[in-house]
Amino acid sequence: MNKNDIQELIAKRAAQELKGRCVVNLGIGIPTLVAKFINDDNVFFHTENGLLGVSDVSEEDIDPNLVNAGKLPVGEAVGASYFNSADSFGMIRGAHVDVAILGVLQADQTGLIANWAVPGKNIMGVGGAMDLLVGAKKVIVTTTHTSKDGKSKILKECTYPITSTRSVDMIITELAVFEVMEGQLHCIELMPGVSMDEVREKTEADFISDVTVAGGNML
Partner 1 sequence: MKVYSDAAEALQSVKSNQTIMVGGFGLVGAPLTLIDELTRKEIDGLTVISNNLGEKGKGLGILVNQKKIKKGIGSYFTSNRDVGDAYQKGELELELLPQGTLAESMRAGGAGLGGYYTKTGVGTDLAKGKEERVIDGITYVFEPAIKADVALIRAWKADTLGNLVYYKTAQNFNPLMATAADVVIAEVDEIVEAGELSPEEIVTPHLFVDGIIRAEKILTKDGVVSNEQK
Residues that bind partner 1 (CB under 8 A): 21, 23, 44, 46-53, 62-67, 71, 76, 78-86, 88-97, 117, 121-131, 134-135, 161-165
Cα torsion angle, 107, 153, 5, 201, sign: negative
Q: How far is the CB of 3 from partner 1 (least distance, A)?
A: 21
Q: How far is the CB of 210 from partner 1 (least distance, A)?
A: 28
- Pick between residue 98 and residue 174 the one whose CB is nearest to partner 1: 98
Distance in Å, CB of 134 to partner 1, minimum: 4
- DSSP output for 73-105: B-EEEEEEEE--HHHHHHHHHTT---EEEE--S
76 is catalytic: no
HSE on the CB side for 30, CA within 13 Å?
28
Burial class (CB within 10 angstroms; exposed 0-12, middle 13-18, buried 19+) of 96 = middle
Q: What are the residues whose beta carbons fall under 8 Å from the beta carbon of 155, sequence distance 6 or more?
A: 106, 107, 108, 109, 204, 205
Integer Cα distance of 145 and 141 in angstroms: 11
Choose between 130 and 208: whose C-beta lies nearer to partner 1.
Answer: 130
Given a contact cutoff of 8 angstroms between Cβ atoms, the answer to whether 38 and 16 are in contact is no
Which residue, 164 or 173, has its beta carbon nearer to partner 1?
164
- Nearer to partner 1 by C-beta: 24 or 175? 24
Of 66 and 196, the one with the shorter C-beta distance to partner 1 is: 66
Backbone angles phi, psi at 85, to 5 degrees: -65, -35
Closest CB 59 distance from partner 1, rounded Å: 10
Q: Cβ 91 to partner 1, closest distance in Å?
A: 6
Close Cβ partners of 5 (under 8 Å, ≥ 6 residues apart)? none
Q: What is the dihedral of CA 200, 204, 209, 214, to 10 degrees?
A: -50
Catalytic residue set: 48
